[in-house]
């Protein structure tokens, strides 16, 4: 099969590993991943990379235009057309919202250059948001245009899958899969000595971890409030992340918690497994808002792979990611979060039990191999071959 993939996420080698593993598992696969030269989030710019197991002919970056966000960019149409004409894909998978400009461009160019080639989309969107007129009309039209060409859609969570029919008027085949898997082996073994030294874990003092953006909807201040009621219990809180609430954590909670609180900063992606290996509990206390709720929670599966028990709120997709392998608390409920923390901090046996359940769930459902094979089965089902 000749598979062409389009998406800004594939600027990074970490995300490309899904397809590097797919290529390794299916040697006959011919692959072309198209992404912009760089992508940005609110904290940093990511330059194009090529993952081990791929080459520059397989992970291709094109000149991009209007990249204010993943919704607004287009790619060099001349090079894009050349790739379509020369590569002659049997299947095209677009990992962008159907109403994005790059989805519109990809569908148009595919219809022009290889009109029989099946197209699928990956979506995360789990909110029934209504944009103001005339943007809402444009969004509806772009969504209809893209999905009318779709052979199938892959949704990253149950609510996104449900909204396909109820809000996007799509009633074709759909599948439920995470966008990415993880290398479970990378979360095993001893952490790097420099990370161990920085965390400075003490005997008999469980380490509670938080990894993510420091914003109110991620619930980091709720976690601090919950821990303020457990001052007679031994614990240390390690926060890996950056965001606008960093000043509040430094000015209010650091003086209150003292050496019990370690603010690491954003941390390099390559160091995150080592920070997880130093933790005894990971908390994802997210709180939904009218315009946001958790779409997945990648750090949950990373934590489970590392054998770290997880506590998550009921925001968005968190319950379906955790399953029975962790503790769920009602979002925004500080007392329930405090009780869950006390339960795990006070029981090494319970932490061990959840650790084993989490590792089994991560390996069975969220490994690179599991996720890559599931995608390949979908592509084979709908491809030209």
Token readout for 340 is 């869950």
Please tell me the pTM assigned to this model: 0.93
Fold equal for 2-181+367-382 and 184-365: yes
Q: CB count, 10 Å around CB of 264?
A: 18
Domain boundaries, the chain: 2-181+367-382, 184-365
Contacts of 35 (CB under 8 A, 6+ apart): 6, 7, 8, 9, 10, 11, 48, 59, 60, 61, 62
Distances (CA, A) of 207 to 92, 212, 217, 280, 282: 44, 16, 23, 5, 9
Eight-state DSSP code of residue 273:
H
pLDDT confidence of residue 137: 87
Q: Could you tell me how far CA 219 lies from the centroid of its own chain?
A: 18
Architecture of domain 2-181+367-382: 3-Layer(aba) Sandwich (3.40)
Model pLDDT, residue 42: 61
Q: What is the dotted CATH code of the domain comprising 184-365?
A: 3.40.50.2000
Q: What is the CA radius of gyration of the chain?
A: 22
In angstroms, the CA 213 to CA 83 distance is 37
Successive 10-residue mean pLDDT values, the chain, 385 residues: 97 95 96 93 81 97 90 95 98 97 97 97 88 83 96 97 94 96 94 95 96 96 98 96 95 97 87 96 97 95 98 98 97 98 96 97 96 97 85
Q: What is the mean pLDDT of the chain?
A: 95
Query: In this predicted structure, what is the pLDDT of residue 22?
Result: 97
Please measure the distance between the N-terminal and C-terminal CA atoms of the chain and give it in whole angstroms.
7
| Beta carbons of 46 and 40 less than 8 angstroms apart | yes
The answer to whether the beta carbons of residues 184 and 276 sit under 8 Å apart is no
Quick one: how many helices (H) and strands (E) in the chain?
A: 15, 17
Per-residue pLDDT reduced to its tens digit, 67-92: 888 888 999 999 999 999 999 999 99
DSSP letter for 280, please.
S
């Amino acid at each position: 099969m000749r598979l062409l993939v389009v998406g800004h996420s594939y600027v990074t080698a970490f995300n490309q590993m899904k397809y590097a593993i797919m290529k390794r598992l299916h040697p006959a696969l011919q692959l072309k991943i198209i992404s912009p030269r760089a992508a940005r989030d609110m904290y940093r710019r990511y330059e194009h990379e090529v993952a081990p197991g791929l080459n520059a002919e397989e992970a291709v970056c094109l000149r991009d235009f209007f990249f204010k966000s993943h919704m607004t960019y287009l790619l060099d149409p001349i090079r894009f057309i050349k790739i379509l004409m020369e590569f002659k894909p049997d299947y095209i998978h677009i990992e962008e919202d159907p109403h994005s400009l790059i989805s519109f461009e990809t569908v148009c160019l595919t219809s022009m250059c290889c009109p029989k080639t099946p197209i699928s989309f990956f979506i995360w969107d789990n909110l029934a948001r209504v944009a103001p007129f005339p943007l809402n009309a444009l969004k509806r039209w772009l969504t209809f245009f893209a999905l009318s060409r779709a052979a199938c859609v892959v949704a990253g969570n149950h609510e996104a899958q449900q909204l396909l029919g109820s809000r996007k008027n799509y009633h074709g085949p759909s599948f439920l899969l995470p966008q990415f898997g993880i290398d479970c082996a990378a979360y095993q073994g001893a952490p790097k000595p420099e990370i161990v030294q920085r965390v400075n874990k003490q005997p008999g003092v469980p380490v509670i971890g938080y990894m993510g953006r420091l914003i109110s909807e991620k619930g980091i201040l709720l976690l601090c409030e919950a821990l303020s009621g457990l001052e007679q219990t031994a614990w240390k809180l390690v926060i890996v992340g950056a965001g606008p609430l960093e000043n509040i954590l430094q000015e209010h909670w650091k003086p209150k918690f003292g050496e019990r609180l370690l603010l690491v900063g954003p941390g390099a992606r390559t160091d995150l497994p080592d920070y997880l290996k130093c933790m005894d509990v990971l908390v994802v206390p997210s709180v939904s808002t009218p315009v946001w709720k958790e779409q997945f929670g990648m750090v949950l599966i990373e934590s489970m792979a590392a054998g770290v028990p997880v506590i998550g709120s009921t925001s968005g997709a968190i319950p379906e990611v955790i399953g029975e392998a962790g503790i769920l608390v009602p979002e925004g409920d500080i007392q329930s979060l405090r009780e869950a923390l006390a339960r795990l901090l006070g029981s090494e046996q319970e932490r061990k039990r959840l650790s084993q359940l989490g590792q089994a769930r991560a390996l069975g459902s969220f490994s690179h191999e599991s996720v890559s094979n599931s995608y390949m089965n979908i592509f084979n089902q709908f491809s030209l071959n």
